[in-house]
């Protein structure tokens, strides 16, 4: 970065905008390299900012052709970030701003603002993309009704709200609901719609359309079905009705993120819309269902009630993630969904919270807001709401949410507003609870047990390690769900919530006939690390008897980790008692196959690296990889018979169905295959690959083959079959790098980067290859440092075109400080090289400097 380091924006500096925007009228004359945007904006002085104020408008990369105030030309002072009209040139009261600017959608490689993807015009405005479309107060607390006219010969012209008029070569849209500019959207292109309707709870009919390119119509059914179920669920569970005549979704190939909740016009990464049994895995179907729901739910939690400023991002994201998790758990299996969510939380958010990028759920400072769309804001933000609900109960939660919608509809709110509705609805003081929003870091919980005269005492101690900028942490409110089992395995105390508020606190259970076995943190009732040395027999006991499915799984998980740690660190033999316990889960037909599949899945190598690091060891990626392979092999040898039997029994013949039950069977089948693959020379995987009629199994089989160092022929066949399908070819790139042996990962990635189909400016394709390399733990950290260098080279290549995706991908380096001196210095050298690059984006600069700090 050659110029002075960019200055942070601070929460403490928040002030309301000096003007209200009373209305926005936009006309777009679309042209690939010279689109004209004509804006008419009504301003009125904001009583919250009395006195005379300059008119400051954000604007980036805009060519200003004309500007007028109340029809009289003005000459604003322009700079790289916007323009200013001095107060002296403004009328006393309300006034109208007219401006015409020119922009270049085709040259917009950052995919922010108005850009083109495969001939389709589309927009992405969150967080600060609207300022690349026209001059505007581009901040979420400025809300206004929008009217949009689009002029273009393209057949489909879409914007927010309801369609109000159209003719040959133009269309007009009116959005009656005041919204911030980040929710603006426009799409124009040669698109076709898959359509349906939904009748709302008050009997209004809503037209639903999913817009895709011709030829993709037959892969929209699952997305449409998910949308209809989401609309119904939000009415039934939250009492929220849809509020426009139409709801449009568009699938776009070049997209920096998953999807975007623009009012009435959601724009999606095509991989989160398009699915058929042949092209999408069960995991893809589940994600599509979840993200369709997520974006739809934003209509109330995000659009009708938005955020005052970007520090409040978790207000809409944490809540909307929480809502989509509830939805999925209602649609599928609650325990399985909970385990999956905790796996993601630990893999992404705990990793973030324990490293240099740790920040509070509500941060207080940022350089580039796009860098704060993080697992902490989203996933931990959702966990915090789960805790609130546990503390106030289901009724209290419902009352608080009703009050939230009633009190803040049409407003831009804050975390203070959010907590206040809970206080007002339930009478609870949430002062201490608020620390979950303001303090970074994952609390660590230790437990001491005491047993005497029929009374059992649990004493908990909480401690949160320091995080950047926050050395000392105060105790938090931690809801700890606990149940007690007697030695026969019967539950003697059903789940209850212990409310911990002090640094150390005891809870006593009286009148017990025998010393119980505690099941602690049931359902993962708080996002904390439970540091507890539990003997293997007790873990196996809970794996067999716990009535709480989460802790049942967790006990097996902890056992597996203990076994792996002793195999990796101390070269011990795999534990037979662990394998036997796993065998009992595998063959227990009363357990949901999806649950059994989760129990068979080994902890990830990255997770093991963190575990070893926490235990004061320096993780050796090769040794972790080898240890995990050795345990898998030992399991396969010992449980061969039941694994084969289960593999056969879990076949799902007949027509493919993406529902949770069928998906669970396939998941268990593939988990068995994964283990058997270590001892059958790939014969089952090859046979499954040859016979599979769905992507779940064909992709799963291919992954096994590659993991076993085989599959060359199948990789070729897969390519030939799918070379015309971008989304499947993304999988083809990814699977080869993700499952490559440690020494082969970087060479494979280097070779694939030369492939003619490596269209690296497409974010999905870039993430498929580079993301897979970063996620191949032993491959990424291979001793020569070749992967580090290759990865950094590509970050530097992408940065000038697409800073947002580059910055996000730089997190592959966030765990550098766990490793040995050689690896550390190699990674630091790459970070230094990136940071020192002339013209580096603000996005990537912020990330690499935080990571290496």
Q: Which does 500 bind (CB under 5 to 8 A by kind): ligand ARG, Zn ion, none?
A: none
- In the block, residue with structure tokens 């270049």: 104
Contact criterion met (CB below 8 Å) for 114 and 95? no
Q: How far is CA 246 from CA 205, 214, 220, 242, in A?
A: 9, 21, 17, 9
CA-based nearest residue to 725, from 119, 220, 253? 253
Q: Segment near ligand ARG (CB under 6 A), from 256-264, 357-365, 709-717, 816-824?
A: 256-264
**Distance in Å, CB of 369 to ligand ARG, minimum:** 7
Fill in the DSSP letter of residue 800: T
- Cβ nearer to Zn ion, comparing 318 with 574: 318
Q: CB of 82 within 8 A of CB of 58?
A: yes
CB of 160 to ligand ARG, least distance (A): 15
Helices (H) and strands (E) in the chain, counts: 29, 31
In whole angstroms, how close is the CB of 809 to Zn ion at the nearest point?
A: 20
Q: Does 288 bind ligand ARG (CB under 6 A)?
A: no
How many other β-carbons are positioned within 10 Å of the β-carbon of residue 537?
11
What's the CA dihedral at 743, 748, 750, 752 to 10 degrees? Answer: -170
Asked if residue 317 binds ligand ARG (CB under 6 A), the reply is yes
In angstroms, the CA 774 to CA 604 distance is: 13
d(CA 84, CA 698): 58
Q: Where are the beta strands (DSSP E) in 253-292?
A: 259-260, 265-269
Binding mask 310-339 for Zn ion (x = CB under 5 A): -------x--x-------------------
d(CA 559, CA 563) in angstroms, rounded, equals 6
Binding of ligand ARG by 843 (CB under 6 A): no
Q: Do 249 and 256 meet the contact criterion of CB atoms below 8 Å apart?
A: no
Closer of 261 and 730 to ligand ARG (Cβ): 261
Measured in degrees and rounded to the nearest 5, phi and psi for residue 624 equal -65, -45
Residue 373: which of Zn ion, ligand ARG, none does it interact with, CB under 5 to 8 A by kind?
ligand ARG
DSSP string, 576-589: HHHHHHHHHHHT-T
Q: Which is nearer to ligand ARG, 127 or 157 (CB)?
A: 127
Applying CB under 6 A, does 607 fall inside the site for ligand ARG?
no
The residues pairing with 102 across neighbouring beta strands, listed in sequence order, are 36, 63
Residue 335: CB minimum distance to ligand ARG, A:
26
> Using the rule CB under 6 A, is 259 a contact of ligand ARG?
yes
**Quick one: which of 261, 340, 562, 744 contacts ligand ARG (CB under 6 A)?**
261
Two tokens at 500? 């911990």
Which of 20, 58, 98, 126 forms a contact with ligand ARG (CB under 6 A)?
A: 126
- Residue from 151, 254, 284, 295 in contact with ligand ARG (CB under 6 A): 295
- Asked if residue 381 lies in contact with residue 359, where contact means CB atoms within 8 angstroms, the answer is no
Question: Between 257 and 695, whose beta carbon lies closer to ligand ARG?
Answer: 257
Q: Look at strands 9-10 and 365-366 and give their pairing.
A: antiparallel
Long-range contacts of 719-728 (CB under 8 A, 24+ apart): 722/279, 723/757, 725/279, 726/253, 726/270, 726/762, 726/764, 726/765, 727/270, 727/271, 727/274, 727/279, 727/280, 727/764, 728/279, 728/695
Residue number, 370 or 376, with CB nearest to ligand ARG = 370
Hey, is 519 helix, strand or coil? Answer: strand
Active site residues: 295
- Least separation in angstroms between residue 512's CB and ligand ARG is 47
Task: Report what 259 binds from Zn ion, ligand ARG, none; CB cut-off 5-8 Å by kind.
Answer: ligand ARG
Give the C-alpha distances (Å, rounded to integers) separating 150 from 29, 30, 104, 204, 246.
Answer: 6, 7, 16, 27, 18
286 binds ligand ARG (CB under 6 A): no
Closest C-alpha to 696, from 677, 722, 670:
670
Pick the stretch among 191-199, 255-263, 431-439, 697-705 that binds ligand ARG (CB under 6 A).
255-263
Per CB under 6 A, does 299 bind ligand ARG? no
Residue 257's binding partner among Zn ion, ligand ARG, none (Cβ under 5 to 8 angstroms by kind) is ligand ARG
Total binding residues for ligand ARG by CB under 6 A?
11
The reply on whether position 548 binds ligand ARG by CB under 6 A is: no
Q: What is the per-residue burial (b if ≥16 Cβ within 10 Å, else e) of 706-728?
A: bbbebbeebbeebbeebeebbbb
Q: How far is the CB of 33 from Zn ion (least distance, A)?
A: 32
Closest distance between ligand ARG and the C-beta of residue 761, in Å? 18
Candidate segments 75-83, 194-202, 258-266, 433-441, binder of ligand ARG by CB under 6 A: 258-266
Q: Which of residues 26, 251, 252, 260 is near ligand ARG by CB under 6 A?
A: 260
Task: Please tell me whether residue 436 binds ligand ARG under the rule CB under 6 A.
Answer: no
Q: Which does 680 bind (CB under 5 to 8 A by kind): ligand ARG, Zn ion, none?
A: none
Structure-token pair, residue 76: 């604003």
Of the pair 127, 193, the CB lying nearest ligand ARG is at 127
Q: Which stretch binds ligand ARG (CB under 6 A): 143-151, 259-267, 344-352, 640-648?
A: 259-267
303 binds ligand ARG (CB under 6 A): no
Q: Smallest gap, in angstroms, from Cβ of residue 156 to ligand ARG?
A: 23
Distances (CA, A) of 370 to 253, 257, 309: 20, 11, 13
The answer for residues whose C-beta is within 8 angstroms of residue 538's C-beta and 6 or more apart is 517
Report residue 65 CA to chain centroid gap: 40
Residue 790 binds ligand ARG (CB under 6 A): no
Give 210 or 738: the residue with its C-beta nearer to ligand ARG.
Answer: 210
Residue nearest to ligand ARG (CB): 373
Cβ atoms within 10 Å, residue 532: 15
519 binds ligand ARG (CB under 6 A): no
Binder among 257, 639, 663, 787 for ligand ARG (CB under 6 A): 257
Q: Which stretch binds ligand ARG (CB under 6 A): 66-74, 252-260, 638-646, 762-770?
A: 252-260
CB-nearer residue toward Zn ion: 262 or 320: 320
SS3 per-residue string spanning 528-572? CEEECCCCHHHHHHHHHHCCCHHHHHHHHHHHHHHHHHHHHHHCC
If DSSP codes are grouped into helix, strand and coil, which group holds residue 122?
strand
C-beta of 289 vs 317, nearer to Zn ion: 317
CA 371 distance to own-chain centroid = 13
Which residue, 147 or 323, has its beta carbon nearer to ligand ARG?
Answer: 323
Question: Which residues from 822-841 bind Zn ion, rule CB under 5 A?
Answer: none
Q: Residue 138, interface with ligand ARG (CB under 6 A)?
A: no
Distance in angstroms (rounded) separating the CA atoms of residues 132 and 37:
11
Under the binding rule (CB under 6 A), the answer on residue 268 touching ligand ARG is no
Cβ density class 636-660: b for 16+ within 10 Å, e for less: bebbeebbeebbeebebeeebebeb
Cβ closest to Zn ion, residue 266 vs residue 320 = 320
Q: Is 234 in the site for ligand ARG (CB under 6 A)?
A: no
> Of 90, 127, 220, 385, which lies in the binding site for ligand ARG, with binding defined by CB under 6 A?
127
Least distance (Å) from ligand ARG to the CB of residue 140? 11
Interactions with ligand ARG, residue window 371-430 (CB under 6 A): 373
In the complex with Zn ion, the residue whose CB is nearer, 253 or 261, is 261
Task: Provide the binding-site residues for Zn ion, judged by CB under 5 A.
Answer: 317, 320
Task: Provide the binding-site residues for ligand ARG, judged by CB under 6 A.
Answer: 126-127, 257, 259-261, 294-295, 317, 370, 373
């Amino acid at each position: 970065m050659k110029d002075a380091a960019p200055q942070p924006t601070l929460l403490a500096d928040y002030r309301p905008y000096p003007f209200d925007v009373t209305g926005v009228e936009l006309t777009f004359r679309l042209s690939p390299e010279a689109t004209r945007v004509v804006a008419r904006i009504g301003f009125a002085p904001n009583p919250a900012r009395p006195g005379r104020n300059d008119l400051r408008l954000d604007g980036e990369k805009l060519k200003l052709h004309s500007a007028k105030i109340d029809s009289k030309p003005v000459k604003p002072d322009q700079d790289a970030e916007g323009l200013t009209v001095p107060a002296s040139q403004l009328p006393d009261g309300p006034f109208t701003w007219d401006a015409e600017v020119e922009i270049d959608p085709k040259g917009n490689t950052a995919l922010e603002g108005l850009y083109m993807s495969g001939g389709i015009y589309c927009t992405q405005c969150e967080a600060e993309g609207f300022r690349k479309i026209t001059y505007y107060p581009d901040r979420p607390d400025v809300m206004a009704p929008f009217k949009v006219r689009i002029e273009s010969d393209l057949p489909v012209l879409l914007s927010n709200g309801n369609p109000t008029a159209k003719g040959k070569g133009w269309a007009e849209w009116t959005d009656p609901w005041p919204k911030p500019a980040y929710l603006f959207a426009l799409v124009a292109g040669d698109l076709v719609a898959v359509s349906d309707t939904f009748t709302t709870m008050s009997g209004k009919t809503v037209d639903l359309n999913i817009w895709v390119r011709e030829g993709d119509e037959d892969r929209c059914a699952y997305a449409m079905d998910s949308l209809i179920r989401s609309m119904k669920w939000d009415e039934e569970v939250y009492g929220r009705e849809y509020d426009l005549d139409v709801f449009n979704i568009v699938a776009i190939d070049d997209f920096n993120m998953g999807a975007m909740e623009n009012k009435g016009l959601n724009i999606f990464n095509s991989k989160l819309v398009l699915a058929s049994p042949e092209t999408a895995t069960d995991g893809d179907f589940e994600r599509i269902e979840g993200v369709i729901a997520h974006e739809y739910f934003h209509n109330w939690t995000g659009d009708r009630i938005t955020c005052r400023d970007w520090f409040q991002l978790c207000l809409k994201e944490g809540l909307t993630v929480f809502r989509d998790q509830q939805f999925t758990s209602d649609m599928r299996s609650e325990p399985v969904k909970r385990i999956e969510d905790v796996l993601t939380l630990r893999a992404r958010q705990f990793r973030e919270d324990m490293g240099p990028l740790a920040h509070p759920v509500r941060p207080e400072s940022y350089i580039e807001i796009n860098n704060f769309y993080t697992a902490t804001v989203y996933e931990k933000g959702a966990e915090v709401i789960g805790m609130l609900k546990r503390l106030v109960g289901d009724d209290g939660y419902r009352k608080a949410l009703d009050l939230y919608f009633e009190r803040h509809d049409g407003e831009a709110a804050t975390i203070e507003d959010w907590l206040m509705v809970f206080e007002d609805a339930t009478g609870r003081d949430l002062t201490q609870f608020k620390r979950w929003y303001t303090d970074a870091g994952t609390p660590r919980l230790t437990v001491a047990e005491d047993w005497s005269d029929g009374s059992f005492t649990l004493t908990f101690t909480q401690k949160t390690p320091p995080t950047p900028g926050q050395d000392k942490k105060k105790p938090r409110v931690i809801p700890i769900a606990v149940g007690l089992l007697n030695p026969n395995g019967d539950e003697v105390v059903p789940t209850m919530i212990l409310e911990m508020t002090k640094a150390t606190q005891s809870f006593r259970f009286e009148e017990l006939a025998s010393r119980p076995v505690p099941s602690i943190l049931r359902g993962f009732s708080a996002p904390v690390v439970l540091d507890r040395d539990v003997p293997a027999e007790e873990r196996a006991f809970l794996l067999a008897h716990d009535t709480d499915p989460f802790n049942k799984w967790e006990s097996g998980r902890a056992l597996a980790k203990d076994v792996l740690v002793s195999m990796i660190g101390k070269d011990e033999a795999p534990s037979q008692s662990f394998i036997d316990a796993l065998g009992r889960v595998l063959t227990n037909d009363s357990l949901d196959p999806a649950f059994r599949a989760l129990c068979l899945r080994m902890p990830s190598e990255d997770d093991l690296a963190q575990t070893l690091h926490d235990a004061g060891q320096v993780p050796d990626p090769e040794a972790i990889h080898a240890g995990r392979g050795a345990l898998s092999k030992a399991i396969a040898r010992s449980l061969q018979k039941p694994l084969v039997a289960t593999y056969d029994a879990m076949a799902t013949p007949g027509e493919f169905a993406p529902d949770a039950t069928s998906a669970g069977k396939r998941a268990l089948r593939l988990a068995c295959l994964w283990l058997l693959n270590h001892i059958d020379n790939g014969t089952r995987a090859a046979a499954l690959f040859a016979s599979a009629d769905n992507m779940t199994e064909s992709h799963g089989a291919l992954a096994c083959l590659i993991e076993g160092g085989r599959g060359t022929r199948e990789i070729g066949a897969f390519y030939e079959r799918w070379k015309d399908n971008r989304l499947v070819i993304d999988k083809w790139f990814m699977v080869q790098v993700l499952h490559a042996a440690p020494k082969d990962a970087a060479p494979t990635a280097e070779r694939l980067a030369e492939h003619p189909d490596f269209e690296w400016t497409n974010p999905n394709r870039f993430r498929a290859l580079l993301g897979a390399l970063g996620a191949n733990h032993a491959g990424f950290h291979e001793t020569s440092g070749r992967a580090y260098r290759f990865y950094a080279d590509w970050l530097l290549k992408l940065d000038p075109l697409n800073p947002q995706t580059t910055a996000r991908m730089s997190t592959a380096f966030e765990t550098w400080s766990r490793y040995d001196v050689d690896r550390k210095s190699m990674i630091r050298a790459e970070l230094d090289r990136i940071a020192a690059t002339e013209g580096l984006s603000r996005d990537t600069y912020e990330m690499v400097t935080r990571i290496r700090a």
